[in-house]
Amino acid sequence: MPVLTFHQAINAALREEMRRDERIMVMGEDVGHVGGVFRVTEGLQQEFGEERVVDTPLNEIGIVGAAIGMAMTGIRPCIEIQFSDFIYPAFDQIVNELAKVRYRSGGQFSAPVVVRTPYGGGVRGGHYHSQSPEAYFVHTAGLTTVIPSNPADAKGLLKSAMRSEDPVIFMEPKRLYRSMREEVPEGEHLVPLGKARIAREGSDATLLCYGAMVPICLEAASRAAESGTELEVIDLRTLWPVDIESILASVRKTGRVVVVHEAPRACGYGAELVAQIAERVIEYLQAPVVRVTGLDTPFPYTLESHYVPDAQRVLTGVQRVLKY
Amino acid sequence: METKVVLNPEDLRPTSRFLRPAHYASNGSNGMVQMLGNEGSQATRQPEIAAEDLRAMYDWMVRVRAFDTRMVNLQRQGRIAFFVPSTGEEAAQIGTAWALRPEDWVFPAYREQGVALFRGYPLDALICQMMGNAQDYMKGRQMPDHFGTPRIRFMAASSPVGTQIPHAVGGAWSARLRREASVSVVYFGDGATSTGDFHAGMTFAAVQQLPVVFFCKNNGWAISLPYAKQCRAEHLSDKAIGYGMPGVRVDGNDVLAVQAVASEAIEWARSGNGPVFVELITQRMGPHSTADDPTRYRPNELLEPWKQKDPLHRFRSYLEGRGLWTEADETRAWAEADARINAAIERVEPVGPPPLESIVEDVYAEVPWHLREQLDELKREG
């Protein structure tokens, strides 16, 4: 099995799917000739030509809007928004159009577009290269929101997203692009959408996380194990529609939950998880659910390492649920 | 008799004489392509359209006006909740629709009922959409006038202005990728030219040289905002130059000029020459919608000159001048149009609303767990 970095695994998924399905095209800013600012699409234009791998003008409305028109008429665009911080100009096209094509046309049209976009901190990118806007898309009916946490899942989830009949917001933890390397299955490796993964089993408390927070939570779990505390780490993989059964099963087992994400806290994705748990399994809880998240501030530059949760902050959250 | 009407490929190059005002001057007033005189009986050039087709063209304009009038009445009677009238824009609709082939794709705004009917949107289904009932293709999911169906390659309109413009560009792009010789046309108004979506669509279409025709119905108003407060450019067609595509102005109340310009623009795009921007000069004779009161912002006398330019009146005068239309034809056309609409209303008005279950369908390809759960909740609580 080849050992790939995160960004190489995504590249492999794109390449394999483009070979398999000639309806797929890739477009975005700088994705063609230079292979993207993170080189995720490197070599695709050389293999598939300028017609299927397109450097677009600098306009997110155009990228998403044109992809919708293509998808409604039989093409499968997999588009890149260079940083998720730059996705907002296309917000109307994503929320009002992409997500709603099927519903508002009575199921006559659909728009199976994959919107790939790097998100999150850890690269000293400041406010405009570090945000985690996933909650907006989870809140939007009609979208599937996916965030992988490792190279093998990145490949398998992206391949599934590209075969989905629904639009998928596929957010890539940019800090892991080159920092994480592991064995990735070759060929037909599909990870189903809507299925979480138990990244580590444990019985004392549950950590609910996704994307770049998964390695942080695994690190926290290793450290906790040294003092005899066994944490269960659930990697959600698909944020919405979320794998509710896996979450509930873990909560029933541990009775203690910490939700971890780097996005701001207020109305963040974790709030929905807390509400779901409270509505369904509150009788199993031994302690209030704790959220370890980014702050409700703009994303800071110099103080970034204090803003993004690390293993120590996760462990502090764990102490709160254990000692309640 | 000169039959070649307006455009030739040489004319349509952005740098060619076609974009020079001097060239327009020979085609009409103020750089606007025109064939019918304001009174209609004269035509500066004769169309390449058979007599029977000219009669059919007028007949379609009558049907669109009749539909419009009837739907406004239905709204006033409380039988539909809302309507977006297109009276005054019949030539802009039928003239452009006439120029399309069945394989072409239409990305409409919400004032294109005539284009839809002409392309074969069933009258019953269209009225079902106005009523939002169980037989509406949209399953009652959208307000009146937001209709569409792939059966006639006519996309479902959305309310935010201009969002369909980049979709049309994607449609044309898709056709090229799929090696389909179709053209995508997109309709929008003067207000849409101020949106980011317009800028995105024009930019992408020109850079990629896609087979798109932009039909901008400049009807003078974006709800209450007059053109002068929307745009400082003398003509919207001037904007095309900045994007690197030909821009043409045509009298949007002159169905022959519209058909001629639209045909050449569409065939220009189909032949791989890239996109064309067509500004159709017209006037929204009614309100923005049945929820709007234009007397609050538009003096009635402003409409007087436009009443003289009524697209039906002008074309009818022309047909009568050529002996192609009589008073009896006129009476018959209106009677038939009204009868068809009334029969359709009678058939579809008893149709009930869509089933409750449909509220959670089509959000995704399959209904996910949380929506099944929410539907169950609704049924228990309801």
Residue B17 burial by Cβ neighbours in a 10 Å radius (0-12, 13-18, 19+) = exposed
Q: Which of B45, B63, B284, B314 does the annotation list as catalytic?
A: B284
Distance CA A321, CA A287 (A): 5
SS3 B107: strand
Distance CA B31, CA B18 (A): 10
CB atoms within 10 A of CB B20: 12
Contacts of A168 in chain B (CB under 8 A): none
Q: Where are the beta strands (DSSP E) in A120-261?
A: 144-146, 168-173, 181-183, 197-200, 205-209, 231-235, 238-240, 257-260
Closest residue by Cα to residue A87 from A145, A45, A48 = A145
DSSP A93: I
SS3 A129: helix
Find the closest chain B residue to A100 by CA distance: B363
Give contacts of B 128-187 with A, CB under 8 A: 136-139, 141-142, 146, 148-150, 155-156, 158, 160, 163, 165-175, 177-178, 184
Residue B48 confidence (pLDDT) = 85
Contacts of A144 in chain B (CB under 8 A): 364
Please state the ipTM of this predicted complex: 0.96
DSSP A108: S
Signed CA dihedral, B131, B132, B138, B141: sign only? positive
Q: Where are the beta strands (DSSP E) in chain B?
A: 105-107, 184-189, 212-218, 221-222, 225-226, 247-251, 276-281
Cis bond before residue A241 (omega within 30° of 0) = yes
Residue B1 confidence (pLDDT) = 36
Residue B45 confidence (pLDDT) = 72
Residue B381 confidence (pLDDT) = 84
Residue B150 confidence (pLDDT) = 97
Find the closest chain B residue to A90 by CA distance: B197
Which two structure tokens, joined as six digits, stand for A112? 């199976």
CB B362 within 8 A of CB B156: no
Whether pLDDT at A23 is above 50? yes
Residue B10 confidence (pLDDT) = 45
Name the phi and psi angles at B76, rounded to 5. Answer: -60, -30
Say yes or no for a CB contact (<8 Å) between A66 and B362: no
Give contacts of B 341-380 with A, CB under 8 A: 361-365, 368-370
Averaged pLDDT for residues A295-324: 98
Name the residue among A64, A89, A96 with its Cβ closest to that of B158.
A96
SS3 B185: strand
Q: What's chain A's average pLDDT?
A: 98
Distance CA B134, CA B111 (A): 23
Find the closest chain A residue to B153 by CA distance: A73
Which two structure tokens, joined as six digits, stand for A227? 């003092």
Burial track A162-173 (b if 16+ CB lie within 10 A, e otherwise):
bbbebbbbbbbb
Residue B39 confidence (pLDDT) = 64
| Rounded alpha-carbon distances, angstroms, from residue A128 to A30, A85, A91, A125, B18 | 18, 5, 16, 7, 45
CA–CA min distance A99, chain B (Å):
8
Say yes or no for a CB contact (<8 Å) between B177 and A62: no
Averaged pLDDT for residues A245-267: 98
Q: Which of A33, A127, A129, A189 does the annotation list as catalytic?
A: A129
Find the closest chain A residue to B369 by CA distance: A241
Name the residue among B141, B160, B177 with its Cβ closest to that of A51.
B177
Whether pLDDT at A255 is above 80? yes
Please, what is the Cα angle at B89 between B84 and B92, to 5 degrees?
A: 130
CA–CA min distance B165, chain A (Å):
8
Residue B26 confidence (pLDDT) = 36
Say yes or no for a CB contact (<8 Å) between B204 and A66: yes
**pLDDT one-digit tens code per residue, A170-206:** 999 999 999 999 999 999 999 999 999 999 999 999 9
A-B contacts at Cβ under 8 angstroms: 151
Distance CA A258, CA B375 (A): 30
Q: Which of B297, B332, B370, B372 does the annotation list as catalytic?
A: B297
Going from the first residue of chain B to its last (382 residues), give the mean pLDDT of each consecutive group of 10, the final group possibly shorter: 42 38 40 81 77 98 98 97 96 98 97 97 98 98 97 95 98 97 97 98 98 97 94 94 95 96 95 96 95 94 94 96 97 98 98 98 98 97 78
Distance CA B339, CA B327 (A): 18
- Whole-angstrom Cα Rg for chain A: 19
DSSP B155: P
Q: Which of B70, B146, B153, B288 does the annotation list as catalytic?
A: B288
Which two structure tokens, joined as six digits, stand for B210? 């896609």
Residue B42 confidence (pLDDT) = 67
DSSP B156: P
Say yes or no for a CB contact (<8 Å) between B196 and A67: no
CB A41 within 8 A of CB A35: yes
CB B184 within 8 A of CB B164: no
Residue B47 confidence (pLDDT) = 84
Q: Rounded to an integer, what is the distance from CA A209 to the centroid of its chain?
A: 10
In the beta sheet, which residues pair with residue A79? A27, A115
Contacts of A100 in chain B (CB under 8 A): 158
Name the residue among A104, A110, A144 with its Cβ closest to that of B158.
A104
Percent of the residues in chain A that have a pLDDT greater than 70, as a whole number = 100
Name the residue among A74, A103, A244 with its Cβ closest to that of B178.
A74
Residue B46 confidence (pLDDT) = 77
Find the closest chain A residue to B140 by CA distance: A106
Find the closest chain B residue to A74 by CA distance: B174
Distance CA A41, CA B134 (A): 46
Say yes or no for a CB contact (<8 Å) between B364 and A102: yes
CB atoms within 10 A of CB B341: 20
Distance CA B63, CA B198 (A): 31
| Rounded alpha-carbon distances, angstroms, from residue A207 to A243, A245, A259, B176, B313 | 15, 15, 6, 49, 73
Distance CA B325, CA B317 (A): 9
CB B372 within 8 A of CB B152: no
**Can A129 be counted among the known catalytic residues?**
yes
Say yes or no for a CB contact (<8 Å) between A93 and B365: no
CB B169 within 8 A of CB B177: no
| pLDDT higher at A316 or B14 | A316
Say yes or no for a CB contact (<8 Å) between A194 and B171: no
Contacts of A72 in chain B (CB under 8 A): 155, 167, 170-171
Torsion of CA A103, B122, B108, A77, to 10 degrees: 50
Q: Which residues contact A11 (CB under 8 A, 6 or more apart)?
A: A40, A41, A42, A43, A44
**pLDDT one-digit tens code per residue, A202-252:** 999 999 999 999 999 999 999 999 999 999 999 999 999 999 999 999 999
Closest residue by Cα to residue A152 from A116, A176, A123, A117 = A176
Contacts of B364 in chain A (CB under 8 A): 102, 142, 144, 166, 241
Contacts of A101 in chain B (CB under 8 A): 156
CB atoms within 10 A of CB B299: 9
Measure CA of the first residue to CA of the last residue in chain A; give whole Å. Answer: 45
**pLDDT one-digit tens code per residue, A6-15:** 999 999 999 9
Residue B41 confidence (pLDDT) = 59
CB B128 within 8 A of CB B353: no
Distance CA A110, CA A86 (A): 25
